[in-house]
Amino acid sequence: MREESRRVYCYFWLFGLINNVLYVVILSAAVDIVGPTLPKSLVLLADILPSLTIKLCSPFFIDRIKYSYRIWSLILLSCLGMFLVSFKNLFVCLLGISFASLSSGFGEVIFLQLTHHYKQISLNGWSSGTGGAGILGGASYMILTSIFKVPVRLALLVFSILPFAFLFYFKLDANGTSSIYQSVRQLDEAEDEQLEPSTVTLTHTNASQSLYNSRQHIFQTFKRLRRLVLPYVLPLTTVYLFEYLINQAVSPTLLFPIDSKENKSMPFFFHKYRDMYVTYGTLYQLGVFISRSFGHLIRMRNLYILAFLQGSNLCITILQSWFYVVHSPWSVMILIFYEGFLGGASYVNTFLNILEQEKPEETEFAMGAVSIADSFGVFLAALLGLGLEPKLCKHQVSDNRPWCRME
C-alpha cells in the first residue's frame, strides 16, 4: 500500500505540474507579450476567462465525458495554445493564451475530481505539483530570458512539448497496482455505460420527459453549487482576487531605479525593469510551492483569516507603489514571497476541508465545482487591474518615477 501511495502521489504531482506550468509561463511572459505600454492584466484576462468559463460549465456536462477523452483534449489544447502564444502578432498570441487557459481550467476540474477516488495522498501530490509548476515555469522563464538571453518566442516554444506528459495518465491506468487499475477502469466503464447511444426514436412524451429531466438536473446542480459558496468559494475567491491584483496590476509598478546611485543594493540580474516583474513572479511561485507542498501539515480551517491577511498585503503594496516608501527591492521581494505562501495555503486548505467535511457522495462534485473560485477571483482581478495598473503608473510618472513606462 505504501508503494501504491507513492505511485499515486508522484503521478498526481506530475499532473499538477504540467497542468499549471503553461499558465505560469504565460503570466511570467506578460510584460514581453504586451510590452510596457499596455496593462499586464490584458494577458491575465485572456489567461483566465476561458478557464473560468469551462469551470462554470463543467458541472453540467463533465460527467458525460470519459476521462481518457478529457486527457487527449488537454494535450491538444495546451500544445496548440503555446504554439500560437509564441507568435509576435498580439491577436494570435491572445488566441493561443485562450486555448492554453481552456486546457488549464478543464485540467484542474478533471484532476481535482480524480482526487476523490485516490483520497488525500493524491490531493497532496496535485497541490504540490501545481506549486512546483510555479517554480519550474517562473524560474525557468526568468533564467532563459533574463540570464541566458534566449529569444522570447523560442523560450515559449520550448514549453509547448510539456503537455505530452499527460499521457502518463494511461500509464497510471495500465501499470498501476490492482486497486489503482480497478479504480480508473471502473470510472471509464461507468462512463461508457452512460455514453451508450439510444436506438429508440423519441416520441413526443419521451422528449418532454427528457426536457423535464434536463431542467431538474440544472436546478439540482445550482442547488448543490449554492451550498458551497460561503464555506469554500467566497474565501478562496477573495484570496485570489487580492493576490492577482498584486501580481498583475501592482507588482509591475513596484519598480526601483536601475541606473542611479540608489541601485547599490540591486540584485545582479536586474538589467532591465522587466526583470523585476519576472523576479517577483518567481518569488511568488516559490511561496506557492512551499505552502501547497506542506500546507496539509498546518491545517487552517477558518479560510477567512487567510483572505484578511492577503487583503493586508494588497494594501501594503499599493501604498508602496503610490508613495515609494521603501527604496530597496529586497523587502518587496520578501512580501511577494509571503503573498504566494498565503495563496498556496488557502488553495490546499480549501480542498482538504472539502475532503474532510463533505459527504462521500458529494465530494467529487464539490472538488470540481469549488475550483471555480480561484478562477473567478483571478477574473475579477484582471478586470480591476485593467484600471488599477495604468492609474498607479500615471501617478508614478507624475511623481518623476517613469520606470513603469520603460523596458
C-alpha cell, 371: 475550483
Topology of the domain covering 2-192+227-405: Growth Hormone; Chain: A; (1.20.1250)
87: confidence class by pLDDT, cuts 50, 70, 90: confident
Count of C-beta atoms within a 10 Å radius of residue 171: 11
d(CA 42, CA 162): 25
| Residue 403 amino acid letter | W
341: confidence class by pLDDT, cuts 50, 70, 90: very high
Whole-number pLDDT of residue 226: 93
Count of C-beta atoms within a 10 Å radius of residue 61: 8
| In the chain, % of residues over pLDDT 70 | 87
Give the lowest-confidence range in 131-145, 184-198, 294-308, 329-343. 184-198
d(CA 135, CA 128): 11
Domain ranges in the chain are 2-192+227-405
Secondary structure (3-state) at 325: coil
C-alpha cell, 333: 521581494
354: confidence class by pLDDT, cuts 50, 70, 90: very high
* Nearest Cα to Cα of residue 239 among 119, 335, 377, 145: 377
Taking only the tens place, the pLDDT of each residue in 163-187 is 999 999 988 755 444 444 455 555 5
CA distance to 29, 36, 86, 268, 269, per residue, from 272 (Å)? 14, 12, 21, 11, 9
Name residue, grid cell 507624475: 398
Q: Give the list of residues 6+ apart from residue 253 with CB closer than 8 angstroms, or none.
A: 321, 389, 392, 393, 396, 404
DSSP secondary-structure letter at 304? H
Q: How many helices (H) and strands (E) does the chain have?
A: 16, 0
